[in-house]
């Protein structure tokens, strides 16, 4: 079985496209203005849990979206992808986020994580952080790194659970 939250991976892959000359200027501006917060992190975590549950319950949603998602590049395109499927949209919005905020959060977190790694490699200096990467988001990522890793592991565990299994699961 392929990885359940494939569409999360699509959003992450889209971040790389922002650096390309064809990248969406408005997305770069959106990411430069967006600030990661504890409240958004809590909503994102719940939305991701919901998202995985929906995807596991209806694998046809993923099958339909995999092809479309791989071609999505912008925040608006990925949000529209989620909006086209009421169950996916509900999974996100029921956690208190719009689909656009969800995608923006994912991209911002990925951007901040990459920049935080760069800062770490530079001995804590922000000298070569790419333009448009908010330092506040890098610091947020640094402060929440352990929590983010825990959330990531939880989501990986959820995605790895077999949908035909009713076990309360020991870690795999």
Can you tell me the distance from the alpha carbon of 17 to that of 31, in angstroms, rounded to the nearest whole number? 13
Mean pLDDT of the chain: 79
Can you tell me the distance from the alpha carbon of 104 to that of 57, in angstroms, rounded to the nearest whole number? 25
Query: Shortest CA distance to 32 belongs to which of 148, 136, 103?
Result: 136
Please list the helix, strand and coil fractions of the chain in percent, rounded to the nearest 5, in that order: 70, 0, 30
Minimum mean pLDDT range among 66-70, 100-104, 145-149: 66-70
pLDDT in tens, 93-140: 999 999 999 999 999 999 999 999 999 999 999 988 999 999 999 999
């Amino acid at each position: 079985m392929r990885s359940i939250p494939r569409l999360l991976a699509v959003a992450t892959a889209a971040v790389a496209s922002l650096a390309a000359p064809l990248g969406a200027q408005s997305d770069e501006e959106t990411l430069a203005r967006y600030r990661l917060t504890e409240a958004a992190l809590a909503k994102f975590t719940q939305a991701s849990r919901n998202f995985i549950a929906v995807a596991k319950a209806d694998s046809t949603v993923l099958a339909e979206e995999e092809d479309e998602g791989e071609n999505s590049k912008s925040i608006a395109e990925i949000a529209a992808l989620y909006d086209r499927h009421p169950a996916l949209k509900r999974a996100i919005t029921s956690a208190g986020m719009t689909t656009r905020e969800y995608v923006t959060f994912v991209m911002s977190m990925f951007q901040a994580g990459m920049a935080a790694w760069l800062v770490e490699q530079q001995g804590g200096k922000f000298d070569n952080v790419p333009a448009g990467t908010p330092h506040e988001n890098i610091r947020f990522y640094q402060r929440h790194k352990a929590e983010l890793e825990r959330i990531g592991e939880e989501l990986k565990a959820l995605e790895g659970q077999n949908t035909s299994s009713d076990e309360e699961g020991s870690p795999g």
